[in-house]
Amino acid sequence: MIGVISSAPAKVILFGEHFVVYGEPAIVLAIDRRSYAKVENRDDRRLFIHSSNLNLSGYYEDQVFRIQQGDYKEARLKFNPIKLAIDKVLSKYQDANIGLNVEINSTVPVAAGLGSSASVVAAVTAAVGAALKMNISKEDILRIAFEAEKVVHGTASGVDPAIATFGGALLFQTDTGFKPLEVKADIPLVIGDTGIQRSTRLQVAKVREAKEKYPQVFDPLTRCAQEIVMRAIDALKENDLDSLGELMNINHALLYGLGVSDESLEWLVTAARKAGALGAKLTGAGGGGCMIALAREEKLGAVSEAIQTRGGTPFIAKKTDEGVRIEQG
């Protein structure tokens, strides 16, 4: 077995986060930031995992984890979903006790709402499968990544694994799954990272609490969220960026009302709008993490500068139609 390198994209949720957990649709876009996984065989039966961007490494032997670099608890937390995914691949292999080196290098900010964990797991799953010469389909990768995502987030919608696996733009709904959206136009985005890591699980629980406490308030909000997504689909088809921006602003207002925005996000959203963005909203779970701003090409620089001035780390993102893929091997 020779070394195999694979990669999978990050994502932004354009519309519908949080409400998607309760059956409403969401629009998700794969972006050109990727996580990379390199897999090689070992002479022993250890599973060695190293994350170069997190400065964590350790190995599993006889299901016992031993740390080599970084904090033990953090490494266990970050590596558990990866270990689960690898175990599921190996369960289909004739020799489940082989040893592997897994090297992870991600360009996706962690705990920022960009699907970092799903991107890593999809890349690792594909690399392990390819390295073992197994016929693992994208549907298999999605199922495995979804199981691993539940370890990370508790209540998981399946959005992140789906977009990491298939790329492009997807309309996602829990009861009907995902449907590719034809988006030929560029969707020029500036992503602003607050630099504040947050727990998706905590933010999802916060929304669940609001739903249970105020069901008669929450239910109309879900219908509003659904209508926003439906109108956004039309705007995407017609390349109507002005309407997309307005809908993003309304969607952000709903999320703010549910308590999942915070001061760090509000600074960046407001700054982006003042600098000429057509619309801006948080993306992902909220409570820190990232926001996105839609802007015409000539305004991308000004919006980026405004986000940076307010303490965010901006980068311009492009849509990518490629999901998980083998880079080498």
Burial tier of 176 (Cβ tally within 10 Å: 0-12, 13-18, 19+): exposed
**What pTM did the predictor assign?**
0.88
The SS3 assignment for 153 reads: helix
pLDDT score for 164: 96
* Contact indicator for 40, 29 with CB cutoff of 8 Å: no
Length of the chain: 329
Q: Tell me which of 32, 62, 160, 186 is the catalytic residue.
A: 160
Q: Rg (Cα) of the chain, in Å, rounded?
A: 20
- Take residue 207 and report the two structure tokens written for it: 């929304």
Residue type, 83: K
Which pLDDT score, from 0 to 100, does residue 109 have?
Answer: 84
Reply yes or no on whether the pLDDT at 316 is more than 90: yes
- pLDDT at residue 157 greater than cutoff 90: no
Measured CA to CA, the distance from residue 290 to residue 314 in angstroms comes to: 9
Domains and CATH numbers, the chain: 4-181 (3.30.230.10), 189-317 (3.30.70.890)
From CA 2, how far away is CA 326, in angstroms rounded? 13
320-245-156-127 Cα dihedral, nearest 10 degrees: 10
pLDDT tier at 156 (50, 70, 90 boundaries)? low
Note whether 26 and 159 are within 8 A (CB).
Answer: yes
Instruction: Establish whether 160 is a catalytic residue.
Output: yes
29 has which bridge partners? 12, 169
Euclidean distance between the first and the last CA atom of the chain, given in angstroms as a whole number:
9
With cut-offs at 50, 70 and 90, classify the pLDDT of residue 279: very high
Q: What is the DSSP string of 225-266?
A: HHHHHHHHHHHHHTT-HHHHHHHHHHHHHHHHHTT---HHHH
Does residue 245 have a pLDDT over 60?
yes
Q: Say how far apart CA 240 and CA 232 lie, in whole Å.
A: 9
Q: Residue 302 is encoded by which pair of tokens? A: 């000004």
3-state helix, strand, coil in the chain (%, to 5): 45, 25, 30
Query: Looking at residues 102-130, what average pLDDT do you find?
Result: 92
d(CA 311, CA 313): 7
- Please tell me the predicted confidence (pLDDT) of residue 42: 92
Look at 1-5, 104-108, 113-117, 158-162 and tell me which has the smallest mean pLDDT.
1-5
Question: What is the average pLDDT across 69-83?
Answer: 94
- Determine the Cα–Cα distance for residues 55 and 296; give it in Å rounded to an integer: 37
